[in-house]
Amino acid sequence: MKFQPDTAEGVNVITRQEPGRVWVGAALFQHSVLVPWQGEVLPWGATGPDELTAAHFERIAALQPELVILGSGARLRFVEPALLRSLMALRIGVETMDTPAACRTYNVLASEHRRVLAALVLAPTP
């Protein structure tokens, strides 16, 4: 699915998403990533929601977003609530949705200059 968002100067924009792949601007990523509203896109190191640990969410907390959009893969899958404890303690909101919806939602919030972070689970394609 290709996106055509309004672009804002200095803001990361997800321009395209396909199973196992996402483009931020012109850069292609084929692994799970953290896409902050500004700055470098970071590898996230999990191929599915079941592999996520508290350490994955501590990395998110260190980036200090106000809201996290968690893309759980091709279909909606929630993570264990205990994994979100570090984010909740810092009053960082979390919304979980499938990865395509997470990409679209992230773009809307980033275009509004919100401190949003997309945490996208991208399973490798065969």
Q: What is the CATH number of the domain that holds 43?
A: 3.40.1230.10
**The pLDDT of residue 46:** 84
Average pLDDT (28-45) is: 96
Range of the domain at 72: 14-120
**The pLDDT of residue 3:** 52
Closest Cα to residue 72, out of 63, 85, 64, 83? 83
In eight-state DSSP terms, residue 112 is T
**The pLDDT of residue 48:** 85
Instruction: Establish if 56 belongs to a structural domain.
Output: yes
State the total domains in the chain: 1
At position 69, the amino acid (one-letter code) is I
Confidence of residue 45 (pLDDT cuts 50, 70, 90): confident
Instruction: Establish if 57 belongs to a structural domain.
Output: yes
Instruction: Establish if 6 belongs to a structural domain.
Output: no
Closest Cα to residue 52, out of 85, 19, 30? 85
